[in-house]
Structure 1
């Protein structure tokens, strides 16, 4: 086997691999000899079928296997000898397309290799982490917010206003005929909730208990029931009660509504939740500050394919953030700007650095950690947890998407252990400012 370099430009590499036809023929013969004792064929005893006959019948298929194994072996040997690690799957093509049995195989292989990552003295990295305590004031604010969400409604005299609740019977008609799903009794509707067809709730503002009203609306063009989309509808509405919101009292009864034994227990739960939120937010700030520090310490060539792929991903993500109304991906090509490429360069550089640090430190994501992460994500699909587990098990890309952030966080923890880290106590407002600065950067 002969390997000849054809390209050496930055991180781009190209090679021509030539495998002698005699080597392939030997490999095929070896495979036939290994299988011969178990082969049965009409007219011959088991294991006594002549090699020429076996080669005639099974040779073409075994030749394909031998070619693949030989090329794969040549690639593995090349990467082992050179130490190159391809950034993406190498592009491998057979160049002599008119190949016939007995000819040499000539294969071209091109790839971009991962760069050599310089060593970083993490002991020189100085960081300040933020710590926030869950104050009594913060707990009281959270309690007040819970009380608002737990509001009830009580009977009210007079006309209904936005925010009030009306208990109604209604019946809807399209083209003069009742339609399925357009009728209900004793339905509690909060005015201003926008839970009904646009225009419906507004026409009940000012209604009083015992009043009958006619409501005329048009179903949206994109209404989920296609037979009603864009249609005009008339509703006969009987207003049975008008109620005003009643704020829940912050007491033991409120606590029980949220699953706590009493108010003190609810306060403890809230304090623990707030502290966990503060820790998570502070972690994001610390991680960003660490990455900023590392970005200023390393500089090396980047594989163009990785950089361009990341730039396209960033452009696509930002475009969808600016156009949230577009759900699909049939929006055509999205322009990749210099700003996208700059951000992509940073992400790829830091990603390669952290990957190399993790590789050298032999950092691994355990099976238990992966299982826990999959379980956490599966909870986002109530009733479909089993299907989600099966999807992840069968999809290597899905597993990688779950594993990658786990690995990165473990590498970040490793680096923080080596860096000089000071803790600073701040208020939740200062932490919020720090978080907002991440969004602006």
Structure 2
């Protein structure tokens, strides 16, 4: 085998490999000898088929098999001799000329091909103990618990039918049909929708115009969608709704006591408050971890600046770009609506893609160097948790992951990442800083970019 390096540029390598015909023929001969004892042909006793006869019958197919194996072995040797870690599978370019290919298959010519490989960079890990981070923390206060319990109570307040006109606080069950410029629009119609007047749960101005409505009465409600409305195709537009009231109900008394808690399946009001407090604490802790993790990743990105494999970066970018453009298309928005251009947006997302790949490689290197692994039990628990999200389909979900290695890897990867993050947070200097709820849940520019 002869190997000639044609390109060594950044993380790309290209080689020309020549596999001599004699070497391939020798390997084919060995393979034919192995077949001699296995092939059953009419007119020959088992194991007595002449190799020359086998070569006439199966020579080309055997040589093709040998070539495939030889190419794989040659590529593996190039990677091992170079001490490379591959970013992608080698890309092999075999001869395309039919006459040349036939000569190789017939054993009359050497096989010459090129192989392109993309390697992972060598990563020099930084000093993680030198990383200093601030972790925002927020204790759960009694007032927050009380407010949450009150909201739960309001959501479960009893209502009773009433005669006469609807007032603020009443629940009106309505059906409506919306239109913009006289044309009905998707999502603008609803049947038997409960609306608590004064709850501000509908478009601004909608509930106010229902005050005084009576059962079976129809009104035209004119509103304007907010500029920041989630459906971009409706944002800022004026709409008209034909609304018919089906029933009017008045709010009943609601006592925050043990009896109310029991209607929610709790033993007492105190038990309900403890559960609420625990849930809020989980939310705060999750948000706190997200913040400190983001800052840790920023620090890692600052410590490790290196070229990333172009193909990996391109694949990551394409995934991001497809998601962004699909969402914009669904919302009928353009880059101009985002105060940017397609070229500028591409440049921004390419940087984000490179950062993601770089951090992924850094985290993988840290995990490998420190023997951080994900156990089969941890993956199994993740599969079980995933299956629970699909009641009635647990078995199908289980089978899907059991038979799909790529899907299973998608569960293993985030577990691995979190374990590496835990490892790094143990080494870094982390200072807990008390913050307000507004500060904890504020979305900064870096979070938006991520």
Classify the secondary structure of the residue corresponding to 1:38. coil
For 1:394, the equivalent position in structure 2 comes to: 403
Q: Spell out, residue by residue over 1:266-304, the C-alpha distance to the aligned partner (whole angstroms, 9 max, x if none).
A: 111111111111111111111111111122222112222
For 1:293, the equivalent position in structure 2 comes to: 299
Q: How much has 1:15 moved relative to structure 2? A: 0.7
Cα distance 1:66–1:320, how it changes in 2: closer, same or farther (>3 A)?
Answer: same
Determine if contact 1:36/1:48 at 8 Å carries over to the other structure: yes
Could you tell me how far apart the structure 2 residues matched to 1:378 and 1:136 are? 36
For 1:38, the equivalent position in structure 2 comes to: 38
Could you tell me how far apart the structure 1 residues matched to 2:75 and 2:6 are? 15
Determine if contact 2:86/2:119 at 8 Å carries over to the other structure: yes
295-304 or 68-77, larger mean C-alpha shift = 295-304
Count of aligned positions? 398
Classify the secondary structure of the residue corresponding to 2:114. strand
Could you tell me how far apart the structure 1 residues matched to 2:217 and 2:392 are? 41
Q: How much has 1:158 moved relative to structure 2? A: 0.9
Q: How much has 1:391 moved relative to structure 2? A: 2.6
Classify the secondary structure of the residue corresponding to 2:37. helix
Could you tell me how far apart the structure 1 residues matched to 2:314 and 2:329 are? 22
Could you tell me how far apart the structure 2 residues matched to 1:439 and 1:324 are? 23
2:374 to 365, 374, 391: 365
Determine if contact 1:285/1:438 at 8 Å carries over to the other structure: no
Q: How much has 1:206 moved relative to structure 2? A: 5.3
Could you tell me how far apart the structure 2 residues matched to 1:13 and 1:140 are? 64
Determine if contact 1:21/1:105 at 8 Å carries over to the other structure: yes
Return 5+ residue gaps in structure 2 as ranges: 176-190, 200-206, 221-241, 333-341
Pair 1:317 & 2:323 matched: yes
Cα distance 1:86–1:188, how it changes in 2: closer, same or farther (>3 A)?
Answer: closer
Could you tell me how far apart the structure 2 residues matched to 1:163 and 1:34 are? 87
Q: How much has 1:191 moved relative to structure 2? A: 7.3
For 2:25, the equivalent position in structure 1 comes to: 25
Determine if contact 2:18/2:112 at 8 Å carries over to the other structure: yes
1:338 to 317, 331, 347: 347
1:403 to 412, 415, 419: 412
Determine if contact 2:214/2:245 at 8 Å carries over to the other structure: no
For 2:257, the equivalent position in structure 1 comes to: 251
Classify the secondary structure of the residue corresponding to 2:163. coil
For 1:57, the equivalent position in structure 2 comes to: 57
Return 5+ residue gaps in structure 1 as ranges: 170-183, 194-200, 217-233, 327-333
Could you tell me how far apart the structure 1 residues matched to 2:195 and 2:134 are? 48
For 1:7, the equivalent position in structure 2 comes to: 7
Cα distance 1:76–1:215, how it changes in 2: closer, same or farther (>3 A)?
Answer: same
Could you tell me how far apart the structure 2 residues matched to 1:214 and 1:137 are? 42
Could you tell me how far apart the structure 2 residues matched to 1:422 and 1:46 are? 78
Q: Give the structure-2-normalised TM-score.
A: 0.77
Could you tell me how far apart the structure 2 residues matched to 1:415 and 1:140 are? 37
For 2:156, the equivalent position in structure 1 comes to: 150
Q: Spell out, residue by residue over 1:40-81, the C-alpha distance to the aligned partner (whole angstroms, 9 max, x if none).
A: 221122222211222233333322221111111111111111
For 2:124, the equivalent position in structure 1 comes to: 118
Determine if contact 1:17/1:108 at 8 Å carries over to the other structure: yes
Determine if contact 2:161/2:248 at 8 Å carries over to the other structure: yes
Q: Spell out, residue by residue over 1:353-397, the C-alpha distance to the aligned partner (whole angstroms, 9 max, x if none).
A: 111111222222211111222222333333223222333333333
Determine if contact 2:12/2:117 at 8 Å carries over to the other structure: yes
Q: How much has 1:10 moved relative to structure 2? A: 1.4
Could you tell me how far apart the structure 2 residues matched to 1:163 and 1:71 are? 77
Classify the secondary structure of the residue corresponding to 1:92. strand
Q: Give the structure-1-normalised TM-score.
A: 0.79
Could you tell me how far apart the structure 2 residues matched to 1:248 and 1:62 are? 83
Determine if contact 2:258/2:267 at 8 Å carries over to the other structure: yes
Cα distance 1:421–1:50, how it changes in 2: closer, same or farther (>3 A)?
Answer: same
Determine if contact 2:172/2:245 at 8 Å carries over to the other structure: no
Q: Spell out, residue by residue over 1:173-209, the C-alpha distance to the aligned partner (whole angstroms, 9 max, x if none).
A: xxxxxxxxxxx9xx7855789xxxxxxx999975545
For 2:228, the equivalent position in structure 1 comes to: none
